[in-house]
Each structure stands twice: as C-alpha cells, then as structure tokens.
Amino acid sequence: MSALAADIPALGGGRLALLGTGTVGTAFVQRYQALHARGLELPSVQWLANSRTALAIDRDLALPLELARRAPRDGQNSPPWASTEGLERGDVVVDATASEDVAARHVHWLARGVHVVTANKLGRGAQLARAQAIAERCADTGARYGDSATVGAGLPLLSSLRALVAGGDHIHAIEGVLSGSLAWLFHRYDGQSPFSAAVRDALAAGYTEPDPRVDLSGEDVRRKLLILARSSGLALDAAHVQVEPLVPAALADVPLAEALAGLEQLDAPLQARWQQAHAQGRVLRFVGRVDAGGAQVGLRELPADHPLAQGAGTDNRVAIHSDRYRQQPLLIQGPGAGAEVTAAALLDDVLRIAG
C-alpha cells in the first residue's frame, strides 16, 4: 500500500493555493499578511480561488481577495479551482471552505504529492473510505495532511490523541462539547427567555452558520466526533453515530426564511428539558461521545460539576479517557469557534509543513 520512507522523494517547501474567501479565508489572508510584515518566512501564495473565480497572485493579497469576494456567480458546472493548473509536488492547498466538492479532491491532490491543509471537516469527517484513502495517499507519496483546524479551531486535540496512540496508550472513550455555537447557546440559556431568542442572538453575533440548522442538527458535531475517533485509531463509520437533532422535523427541510420564522417550535421542548435538568441540579450540554458501546451526539443532562459542564462562551471542552488517564480524564478546553483562531490553526499547519 505504501512506499518505504526511503523511496519517497523529498517534498520541498512549495507554494500556496488558498481555496475559500469567506470569513475563514479572509482571516487567513489577514494573518498571513501580519506574519509576513513581522518578517516571518512564509511560502508564497500563488493562487486564490472560490466557487466563482480563481486568481493568480503577484504580490499583493488584499486586492485579489476583494476581487474574488465580489466576483459574480456565472452558473458554470465546474468551479474554477478544479481546473487551476500548475500545482506541483510539494505545493500546499489550503482548504478554507466547507465544500464537499473541494473535500472530494483532497485524495487527488495528496496522490500527486501536494500537501493539503484544511478546515473542511468533509475530508476526514465524512465517508470512512475517504478518510482511509487520505491516510493511504499520505503514506504512499509522503504528502502531509494538516487538519488541526477541523476540530476545536486549532486546540491541541488531534495532536494530543495521535501522540497518545503513538506512545502506546489505548483510548477508551472521547466525549466533549464540540460545537462553539451550541456551547454558547447552552451556557446562555436559562430556561426563562425563549431558546429561539438565544438562537437569533447567536445568529446575529456570527456564532452560528448563516443557516443555524447546520449547528442545531448535530451534523457538525458528528463530523468532529468522527475525526476524533478516527484519529484515535477507531474506524468509525458515519452511519454508526446516533444523532439527536435539536431541529424539529417540521423545520428540517423547509426554506431558510421559513425555518427562521418558525424557531419558536424549539422553545417548549427545550424549556421542558431545562426544567427537568434544573429540578435535579443538572445542566444541559450538547455532547458527542464515542466508546466501546458506540457513538452518540445529542443533548445531555450533566451534574453541575461534570468535566463537560464547565467552560464559558464558545469554549470547546473535551475529555479523553485512556489507560494513561483512567482515573481522571485528560481535559482540553479553549475557544472552539471563530475565524481568527481557525485561520491561525491553518497557518500553523502550513508552517509545520513548510518547515
């Protein structure tokens, strides 16, 4: 399956192709420019692309970024980045999108010896076959896959898991508050004001996706849990994760405007859950967990002193139970959402590869 390390040609420090000009892509450009201004040696950005246009970069990044963000949609079938020519062995693709089309090409780039750095969870957090193919292509070609930004916005979650496994530790369970937006919502919700009002506040503050059902469905947490499980050596299939969505079935498939207008359908069920938890001195948290018994994503009632009940704001909080951490889990906590911390994680992976 894989070549011996001695047979793999060296991958030199290459050029960058940035895919995605949304909030994360924009934050990546801003951080790149700030680090460059401080004199840090960085690979040069040669291409900048989104689903509407692909631009070659000379020196300045600000103008191409603005042009790409303003580019009109032309209805073409194949996005421009798919036909961008010139990527060579040792170059780095930075995927700052949430696109299935882009994630589907990760394996193709790795097979050519092109490194991939990504915040896109659909690479290793979707089909098991794709996650396995990514690992195989990295082993075959020596290309590297930087995915620190996919879970916890760059918190040392994946690196810690992989280090434990590499050191011979056995992971028994991983559980955590893995969504910054849902963490914020359940830290804020007090059972008195409507939950729908908190969702609208989170949407206005930019904590949720433009369609908050992406967060409320639990799908984002499922993808992160899959990445964590697979990083611990567990070949978990997406279909084996049981998800309890917060979105009522009546709102799941309607147009966004209709869903936003109907958010009050969340209020009564969640108030009942909050009152039940509160009467027992417990709190509500949206948790993903994987262990030998299976994998679940959903709302849990936790004791107030539970490791996952702490934190504030958009904090992610993850507990790792293993042979080494049998009596007390390893806890990792920190900001789990935000374009700036996600962009920083992307650049950290770029620098590790370039170095």
> Which of the residues are catalytic?
224
Q: How many other C-beta atoms lie within 10 A of the C-beta of residue 347?
A: 23
Q: How far apart are CA 229 and CA 348, in angstroms?
A: 23
Q: How far apart (Å, rounded) are the C-alpha atoms in residues 126 and 164? A: 24
Q: Please report how many Cα atoms fall inside a 13 Å half-sphere around the Cα of residue 121, on the Cβ side.
A: 22
List the Cα angle 339/343/345 in 5-degree steps.
120
H-run or E-run covering 17? strand 16-19
Kindly report the three-state secondary structure assignment for every residue of 180-223: HHHHHHHHHCCCCCCHHHHHHHHHHHCCCCCCCHHHHCCHHHHH
* Triad 206, 340, 60: Cα angle to 5°: 115
| H helix runs in the chain, sequence order | 23-37, 62-70, 100-103, 106-111, 128-141, 158-166, 180-188, 195-205, 213-216, 219-231, 249-252, 256-261, 267-279, 339-354
* Residue 264 one-letter amino acid: E
Distance CA 198, CA 278 (A): 18
